[in-house]
Structure 1
Amino acid sequence: MKSLSLCLASHFPEYRKNQVGLLALLVLTLIQAKDVRHAALAERCQGNAQTASVIRKIERFFDKHPLCPLDVARLVLALLPDAKRREFSLDRTNWKLGLTDVNALVLAVLWRGVAVPLLFELLPHSGNSDTGTRLALFDEALTLLDCREVATVYADREFIGQAWIEGLAERGLPITVRLRVDSRIDGLPAGEWLHGLQPGNEKLLVERAEVYGLPMNVVLTWTDQGEPLIVASNATAARQILKGYRKRWKIERLFRALKTKGFNLENTHMTLLGHVKRLLCLLTLAYVWCVLVGIDQDTVIKKHGRRAWSVVTLGLRSLVRACSRQSEIAADALLHLIQLWTPRQTAIGESVGY
């Protein structure tokens, strides 16, 4: 744990030594427990302290630790460099604890085929976010990178509206967004453009149509399930829009990895926004480490063309094994994995995806 503390101290120089040590301890225990409940984390903590005492220490972490999303986001961008302009995906994930809704708006950066959480905003209500909250999230992101570094933001039908689209354009941020059938393209509802277009591989490509007050390229077609698929972009030629938009689904895989396929986020009993925010920061650190460990590991490619195991699953398995084995060789292996916290100077390799 000392080696991990030293690595994290270099990324969070303003944190006190004991704060960095506790952060390193919880990253390691979260990896091993694959569960966010305090009791599950306490069971994995090293030392001779009573479980109740360890749980109180964990509670103090979530109550008072200085860990914050901007500090973590700065680390994420340092650890995941990209020689090309970056692509992002925006979506929400939510769950319930009793009658209480926990609702998080998440901005993820796409890196080598994997969606990685960058920034998030906890909503004090259920349902959709509003334009002001979304734009504030991007204003935070623009304190960390220049708008010229952004290739596009992928978003689903929840994220539409003239004030929102124009707000992004004013900030120099392009978007690739799925439209609803009642969204207007050159003044006509998008559904009317689909008339006469047969389900299947047939597509209608429209260049520089007015969508929410801006010139955008649009592709209109039907899904295999017979659902209208209408995607607009001011970043991509119409013929390339659907190829890019498929990357939006990577954020859904991110949410599954944070929840049932990885760390069981929805098991938390915390609902206070400050506590959940620190939990999401902690999860981001553990998730990024899994990505760095798993990104170059090989796995079987199934008949449908997808990987048998995701990058995050491969990385998490390797980390759990390295943390749990007690030997000199295992210690050396864990030290090697800890060294991945050293920022890389250039982007490495091609996208591998899930």
Structure 2
Amino acid sequence: MDLSDGLRDSLKAHLGWGKPRLDCFVGMLLGLFRLKQINLTQLALAFASDADPRSRYRRLQRFFALVWFDYDAIARLQMGFFGFPGKKYHLTLDRTNWQWGKANLNILTLGVVYKGTAIPVYWLVLNKKGNSNQRERIALLNRFISQFGRDNILGILGDREFIGEHWWKWLTRHQIPFLMRIKENQLMTNRQGHQQNMHSRFKDLKQGQHRFLRKTFRVSGQWVWLSGMKLDSGELLVLAANQPFRDPFGTYRLRWEIENLFQCLKGRGFHWEDTRLTHYRRIKKVMALLAIGFCWAHKVGEWKHRFIRPLTIKKHGRPEQSLFRYGLDVLTNSLLHGFRRTEDAIRLWVLFLWPPDLITTQDGRVILILKIED
């Protein structure tokens, strides 16, 4: 079986494109793994075709300029990759941004917290420089809820950018728990109308100490539960939530996982910042390609860690490399040096289709063939 054929058939049901466009997308996906590079000039060289490299490059340009993407279908594909529907999960929200020439590339991303990273589900390219506004955040989360509902959301996590009265009231009205970091100089108001800033309330904490306030305070127009911790760096970490969290600091730590996602899409994986595309609609399409590639690599890494060779845990308590990078190296090696047998290509294709926890045999082989026959 040809891996390209398997991927094309798998994606056809989700993306709704014809064979030429599916072939182009799959060719870019496989080229992305061969090069670990999203620059179209380089990607065209790894694109399997007999055409002149300049013709391949123009084909890739036309693809991102003209092809319509169903981002809801891609979101369903991403959620299904890991069997999220029907499970409880935390969402995390953050931006990644950089500059190319005079263009500011600024992408607001909503992801599902998962095993040390965040799985990208929806993203919005902000055609501006700086923070997102409340309307943009609500639009992104509204789109998620329209597809997957809100009942399985354990909470949405965000840093100091993601505050705002309208935004917080919208989350509370829709019964979506939130846990956001706020600034030290943010004002808080008690029930009697007395105001003070966060720093004065938690300034007596020593490094490593934390405090949970038993009553709610009004912050940014919303009554919230507050907790503070003095970090080892001496910085004060203050969290606001619209409902009590059993372990707010442990939960908030999950927010960092979206930073790991951005690192994988950039320098530790696909070198997204090397793209020369700057138009916001094309950047959004590039993100779709990267997101699907990221999920496939992560699933392959999970499978190898579980069935072939577990990752070594270093003295600092973290694995020697991420599951994404573990899987990315498998895919890159296989595509550059060829598959030793047809079964290897089939296994990687099946890992593209089903969540890794469906693989239940000790060697990770038999169930794959059974699933194909199903």
| SS in structure 1 at match of 2:213 | strand
Note the 1:1-354 alignment, pairs <5 A. Answer: 1-12=4-15, 14-82=16-84, 84-185=87-188, 186=190, 187-197=195-205, 199-210=206-217, 211-237=219-245, 240-296=247-303, 297=305, 298-329=310-341, 331-344=342-355
Distance 1:221 1:252, change over 3 A: same
CA contact (8 A) 1:80 1:111 kept: no
CA distance in 1, matches of 2:118, 2:41: 29
Distance 1:162 1:116, change over 3 A: same
1:61-103, Cα deviation, whole Å (9 max, x unpaired): 1111122432211111111123531111111000111121110
Count residues with an aligned counterpart: 345
The answer as to whether partners of 1:68 and 1:278 remain within 8 angstroms in 2 is no
**DSSP-derived class of the 1:246 partner:** helix
Higher RCO by CA contacts (8 Å cutoff, separation 6 or greater): 1
Give yes or no for contact 1:291–1:312 (8 Å, CA) kept in 2. yes
User: TM-score, normalising length from structure 2?
Assistant: 0.87
Q: Is the 8 A contact 2:264 2:270 kept in 1?
A: yes
Contact 2:299/2:355, CA 8 A, preserved across alignment: no
Aligned position for 1:352: none
TM-score (norm 1): 0.92
Q: Secondary structure of the equivalent of 2:247? A: helix
Cα distance per residue 1:230-266 (max 9 Å; x no partner): 01223543x5000111111111111111001100000
| Cα drift, residue 174 of structure 1 | 1.2
Q: Deviations over 1:142-180 (max 9, x none)?
A: 111111111011100011121111111222221111011
Partner residue in 1 for 2:370: none
SS of 2:148's equivalent in the other structure is coil
Q: Is the 8 A contact 2:116 2:260 kept in 1?
A: no
Q: Equivalents in 1 of 2:354, 2:49: separation in Å?
A: 30
| C-alpha separation in 2, matches of 1:252 and 1:302 | 21
Deviation of 1:348 (Å) = 8.6
Residues 288/217 of structure 1: CA separation in 2 closer, same or farther (3 Å cut): same
Which residue identity lines up with residue 288 of structure 1 in the other structure? C
CA-CA distance at 1:116 after TM superposition: 1.3
Which secondary structure state, in structure 2, belongs to the residue aligned with residue 75 of structure 1?
helix
CA distance in 1: counterparts of 2:215 and 2:18, whole angstroms: 53
Question: Does the CA contact (< 8 Å) of 1:109 and 1:118 recur in 2?
Answer: yes
Identity %: 27
Looking at structure 2, the residues matched to 103 and 201 of structure 1 have their Cα atoms a distance apart, in angstroms, of 34
Do the aligned residues in 2 keep the contact of 1:294 with 1:311 (CA within 8 Å)?
yes
Deviations 1:253-288 (A, max 9, x none): 111110011000000111111111110010001001
Worse-superposed segment, 205-214 or 145-154: 205-214
Q: Which amino acid aligns with 1:207?
A: R
Q: 1:279-312 deviations in whole A, cap 9, x for unaligned?
A: 0010001001011111241211111101110011
Separation in 1 of the partners of 2:322 and 2:6? 27
